[in-house]
Amino acid sequence: MAEQVVATAFGGPEVLSVVETEVPEPAAGRITVDVRAIGVNPIDHKLYSGAFGSDPDKLPLPVGNELAGVVTAVGEGATGKAGPISVGDEVLVQPAPGAYASSVTVRATHAVPKPAGLSWETAAGLLLAGETAVHLLTLLGDVEGTTLLIHGASGSVGVLAAQLAVASGARVVGTAGEKRAEALRGYGVTPVRYGEGLVDRVREAAPEGISGVIDTSGTDEAIDASLALVPPDRVVSAAAFQRAGDGIKLVGGGPGADPGAEIRSAAWERLVPLAAEGRLEVPIARTFPLAEAAEAHRLSIDGHPGGKLILLP
């Protein structure tokens, strides 16, 4: 038996409950993982909020999609992205449906090896945001020697995109609240405050000009400022789906977006070694026990947790 967080109805965090559940033996191509840490992502709440439908037949709905843990059982032919998987292997798994659990059975093909030097918390919070960051950067092409503007540079995706861009030889100007400015400077990013006068502040911070924009905030302010600085095809957004008609590039699962399945599937090969070497940091705002998943979601919905939120079974 395992503990698992499920949504018993569609709505806010108050519908989440912890239940006892049987963990199925892994069939061919699947593995069972003893979960050590779980990444909390905005999509986790959206899936039970009713935003994507409220079919009562889907209830109770298991929650979560990103975890790190130790393999306790393997099905026949269980092979991850780096090769065959064995009992005792430490892995990161994403996607991992029903990840909010103490133990879960998932597809082996979604698992990648966890280096010994990578903490459980970092491992659990790396892949989903990191894949989006890699996807955004990839669509901009070679950024070495260029200056990029990243909107939402202190958020879970933005901070990884900023670090990856700096590591690729770009100069990065990042929008953020004043409380996050010092942290961004620590990553080699020039912070600018969002709000009225944003375009002027960016131009002052980057007199050489901006060559590309990564948007993780999705606000009209961010897109309007971006279009004042660069052509539409040099703006890549993971959130501003309402601005598709402006000619910007969109990534993810929204309407008109590039799903980037191959890019995202291979992103771990770049992300995991950098994180293990300490060259890519996943800022952790706070950890919660599994039983406090609802509280973690309340903080996530607020939109300003200051880093990644992690559940610990």
Task: Kindly list the distances between the CA atom of residue 261 and the CA atoms of 6, 35, 187, in Å, as whole numbers in the listed order.
Answer: 28, 25, 28
Q: Which CATH architecture has domain 2-114+283-312?
A: Alpha-Beta Complex (3.90)
Say if residue 239's pLDDT is above 80. yes
Q: Which residues pair with 91 in a beta bridge?
A: 69, 113
**pTM, 2 dp:** 0.95
* One fold for 2-114+283-312 and 131-259: yes
74: helix, coil or strand? strand
User: What is the Cα–Cα distance from 26 to 182, expressed in whole angstroms?
Assistant: 46
Over residues 66-112, the pLDDT tens digits come to 999 999 999 999 999 999 999 999 999 999 999 999 999 999 999 99
CB atoms within 10 A of CB 214: 30
User: What is the Cα–Cα distance from 159 to 148, expressed in whole angstroms?
Assistant: 13
159: helix, coil or strand? helix
Over residues 132-168, the pLDDT tens digits come to 999 999 999 999 999 999 999 999 999 999 999 999 9
Per-residue pLDDT at 306:
80
Average per-residue pLDDT in the chain?
Answer: 96
Q: Which fold has domain 131-259?
A: Quinone Oxidoreductase; Chain A, domain 1 (3.90.180)
Per-residue pLDDT at 289:
98
User: What is the Cα–Cα distance from 6 to 286, expressed in whole angstroms?
Assistant: 21
Q: Over range 253-259, report the average pLDDT.
A: 88
Domain layout of the chain by residue ranges: 2-114+283-312, 131-259
Locate 21 and state its tokens: 């559940």
